[in-house]
Structure 1
Amino acid sequence: MSKMRAAVLTAPKRFELREVPVPIIGPEDVLVRVTRTGICGTDIHIFNGHYAADKLPLVPGHEFCGTIAERGENVRHLAVGARVVVDINIGCGNCFWCRHNEVLNCAEVTQIGIGRDGAFAEFVAIPARLAIPVGASISDEILALTEPVACVVRAARKARISFGQSVVIFGAGPIGNLHVQMMRLVGAAPIIIADLSADRCRMALEAGADSAISDPAELKATVLRMTGGLGADIVIESVGNRKLYEQAFDLTRRGGHVAFFGITPPGETVPIDILRTVLEEGSLKGSVAGMGQDMYDALTLLSHNRFRTDDFTKASYPLDAIQEAFESLGDRPQDLKTQIAIAA
Structure 2
Amino acid sequence: MTATMKAAVLVRPGQFEVQQVPRPEPGRGEVLVRISRVGICGTDMHIFNGHYAADSLPMIPGHEFTGTIAELGQDVQGLTPGSPVVVDMNIGCGTCYWCRRNEVLNCPDMQQMGITMDGAFAEYIAVPARLVIPAPDTVPTEVLALTEPLACVVRCARKANITFGQSVVVLGAGPIGNLHVQLLRTIGAAPIIVADLSEDRVNMALEAGADVGVTDPAELEDVVMRHTDGRGADVVIESVGLPALYRQATRLIRKGGHIAAFGLTGADEMLPVDILQTILQENSIKGSVAGMGQDMHDALTMLTHGRIRTERFTAATYPLDQIQDAFDSFADRPRDLKTQIALTH
In the superposition, the TM-score normalised over structure 1's length comes to: 0.99
Corresponding residue for residue 309 of structure 2: 308
Match of 1:255 in 2: 256
Deviations 1:300-322, CA, capped at 9 Å, x for gaps? 00000000100001000000100
Alignment deviations for residues 208-241 of structure 1 (CA, whole Å, 9 cap, x no partner): 0001111111111100000000011000000011
State the distance in 2 between where 1:57 and 1:14 align. Answer: 10
| 1-structure distance, mates of 2:169, 2:119 | 33
Mapped to 2, the partners of 1:69 and 1:162 lie a distance apart of 41
What corresponds to 1:42 in structure 2?
43
Q: Following TM superposition, by how much is the alpha carbon of 1:267 offset from its aligned partner in structure 2, in angstroms? A: 2.0
Deviates more, 1:74-83 or 1:277-286: 74-83
Distance in structure 2 (CA, Å) of the matches to 1:267 and 1:343 = 41
Partner residue, 1:15: 16
Letter of the structure 1 residue corresponding to residue 210 of structure 2: A
Q: Report the CA distance between 1:79 and its aligned residue.
A: 1.2
User: Deviation of residue 171 (structure 1)?
Assistant: 0.6
What residue number does 2:234 align with?
233
Residue in 1 that maps onto 2:197: 196
How many Å separate the matches in 2 of 1:247 and 1:169? 12
Give the 5 Å matches for 1:153-172. Answer: 153-172=154-173
For these two proteins, the number of residue pairs brought into alignment is 344
Q: Is the 8 A contact 2:136 2:304 kept in 1?
A: no
For 1:299 and 1:322, locate their aligned partners in 2 and report how far apart those are by CA, in whole Å.
26
1:341 lines up with 2:338 in the alignment = no
- 1:207 maps onto 2:172 in alignment: no
Query: Cα distance, 1:24 vs. partner?
Result: 2.2
Runs of 4+ in 1 over 6 A off after TM superposition: none
Aligned-residue CA RMSD in angstroms? Answer: 0.8
Could you tell me which runs of 5 or more consecutive residues in structure 2 were left unpaired when the two chains were aligned: none
Give the equivalent residue in structure 2 for 1:177: 178
Give the corresponding residue for 1:286: 287
Aligned to 2:222, what secondary structure does the other structure show?
helix
Q: Deviations over 1:51-96 (max 9, x none)?
A: 1111111110000000111111211111111110000010000001
Alpha-carbon distance in 2 for matches of 1:169, 1:190: 11
Identity, % of aligned positions: 64
The unaligned stretches of length 5 or more in structure 1 are: none
* SS of alignment partner, residue 185 of structure 1: helix
Q: 1:36–1:343: 8 Å Cα contact kept in structure 2?
A: no
Alignment of 1:263-274 (within 5 A): 263-274=264-275
Pairing of 1:48-87 with structure 2 (within 5 A): 48-87=49-88
Per-residue CA deviation, residues 19-51 of structure 1 (Å, 9 max, x unaligned), is 100012211001100000000010011111111
Match of 1:216 in 2: 217
Work out whether residues 313 and 339 of structure 1, in 8 Å CA contact, stay in contact via their aligned partners in 2.
yes
